Chain A
Amino acid sequence: MADGNDSGNGRTTLGERLSGVGERIRASEAWESIFRPGSPFRKGYSDSPRNRSYVVMNNVLYHLHPVKVKRHGVRLSYTLCLGGLSFFLFILLTITGIFLMFYYRPAAPEAYIDIAALSTDVAFGQLVRNLHRWGAHLMVITVFLHMTRVFYHGAYKPPREFNWVVGVVLLFLTLLLSFTGYLLPWDQLALWAVTVGTNMGGYTPVFGDQVSFVLLGGIQVGGPTLLRFYVLHVLALPFIIVIFMAVHFWRVRKDGGISGPL
């Protein structure tokens, strides 16, 4: 071996030692227990039809996809990636939202103080808050556009009727998530936008007052409403929407993958 390398003095170079370490790590039992047989992280990736399948099969996220899809489904112009982007925005909102939760107390004046402090005292606080807010608005838009693209492709027709219904639930949950989040900064915009919005619930025939009371935790938007919306926003609604998303993605595949071509 020694005569093969350029250093010429018969000693192993640093690069060789490092790659030796890498090989030993990859051969170790611990490494092999983490990455499934056939994973590119075990033997490295070389392009072959077999390895192309392994990439998808050996990663839990990629495995949302089948190994192969219809050729037209890959064309950007077919789905415009809108469903996938809605999902990506949801993930982004979850991550930025967890960050925001570290600095936020869901109580009547504290919430506002915390958000104001977040904008000035916390490193990247303002940026993360901006990402969370604009991402949320964008998600409402992408979900809506995704729905219209599904409609114009007639992709709700059998066998996909039920997945369309699941989608409508997802649209409704997305709106609710956005709306409950709107109250959390506890500024004038939040308070009065939510007041106007929840007033509509109060017009429910027969038990409008009860609906409004349950929604607000009182007769008008106040501290209890803030806590209520907070729990809905950070826990209850995300929990429910994740379940519906799981069903949605599962059905896309069970119903035979992407619809079409037109």
Chain B
Amino acid sequence: MAEIPEHLLRRSAEAKAKTLGVPVEQIMAELGGESVPAAAPAAAAAAPTAPAAAPPPATPTIPEGVRTQRMLTVVKAKAIQGAKRKPTDKVNVWPHLLAIEFVALLVVMGLLIVFSVYQDAPLLELANPNEQPNPSKAPWYFLGLQELLSYFDPQVAGVLIPGLGLAGLALIPYVDRTRSIRPTDRKFAIMMFTFFVVASAILTIIGSFYRGPGFNFTFPWRDGIFFDL
């Protein structure tokens, strides 16, 4: 209690004295005697009101329905006004971010146009359900799965693995509970993710370039490439 500033204590005592009709000094003494020596000028200001009120009863009673105010506590300004969040170093989106995005857009657009000018999209013969080309390959992003088909039962390679893979991917944030984002704290998570990415990349590359007629193993430099985009 000792930290409460003196002027606040005095104000509270004055208010109490006014409602109870007792001298301020008495309340001050009750509140925390030793720290406050009697302050005459303020008491004098409060004194004239005291006689006007009803004679002080032995136990001060507050009339029914009348609310009185009293100080419950003093909240230090720092606790409610202090900024909780540390200030972060921020920059304006325009021009800093938009300029970079614009350049990235131009670069990709440029590369894509140049590539499209020199490389035509494939168009083979009209679709013919009676004549299956050998080999028949899925689009490249499914070739890892098609590669798995040559090792596992179709239900495993075609349904179970992609299904579990997608579900597992979506569940990563709920399984990996480490809060830290520092690479040194997440060695296991990084290792697992890298393993799966590299494994699917290898499977996709094998399915794309090392599989020939009958989806049999070939070497691209020996038998040619059986791959269309």
Listed in ascending order, the chain A residues whose CB lies under 8 Å from chain B are: 49, 52-53, 55-56, 62, 65-74, 76, 81, 84-85, 88-89, 92, 108-109, 112, 115-116, 119, 126-127, 129-135, 137-138, 140, 148, 151-158, 160-161, 164-165, 168-169, 171-172, 175, 178-179, 182, 185-193, 195-197, 199-201, 203-205, 220-222, 259-260, 262
Contact = CB atoms under 8 A, between A and B. Distances in A.
B71 to A, nearest CB: 39
Contact of A200 (B123, B158, B181): B158
A156 B172 contact: yes
A131 B116 contact: yes
28 contacts: A55-B94, A56-B98, A68-B92, A69-B97, A81-B100, A92-B112, A108-B127, A116-B123, A130-B116, A130-B117, A132-B121, A135-B112, A152-B183, A152-B190, A186-B126, A187-B125, A188-B128, A189-B228, A191-B128, A193-B137, A196-B138, A197-B139, A203-B159, A204-B159, A221-B129, A222-B129, A259-B181, A262-B183
A160 B155 contact: no
B139 A193 contact: yes
B173 A196 contact: no
Contacts of B113: 127, 131
Q: Which of A129, A154, A222, A259 has the most CB of B within 10 A?
A: A154
Nearest to A82: B104
**Consensus secondary structure, chain B interface:** helix
B91 A74 contact: yes
A89 B137 contact: no
Contacts of A49: 92
B93 A156 contact: no
A55 B119 CA distance: 39
B128 A81 contact: no
A188 B124 contact: yes
B77 interface: no
Contacts of B136: 192-193, 195-196
A160 B173 contact: yes
B108 interface: yes
A165 B171 CA distance: 8
B95 interface: yes
B83 interface: no
B133 interface: yes
Interface string B156-196: 01110010001001101110101111110010011001000
B105 interface: yes
A178 B104 contact: no
Contacts of A178: 139, 141
A65 B92 CA distance: 10
Given A151-B193, A196-B138, A220 B129 contact: yes
Contact of A85 (B104, B126, B173, B229): B104
Given A197-B138, A200-B159, A187 B112 contact: no
B63 interface: no
A116 B122 CA distance: 11
Contacts of A191: 127-129
Nearest to B185: A154
B145 interface: yes
A125 to B, nearest CB: 11
Contact of B154 (A126, A140, A195, A203): A203
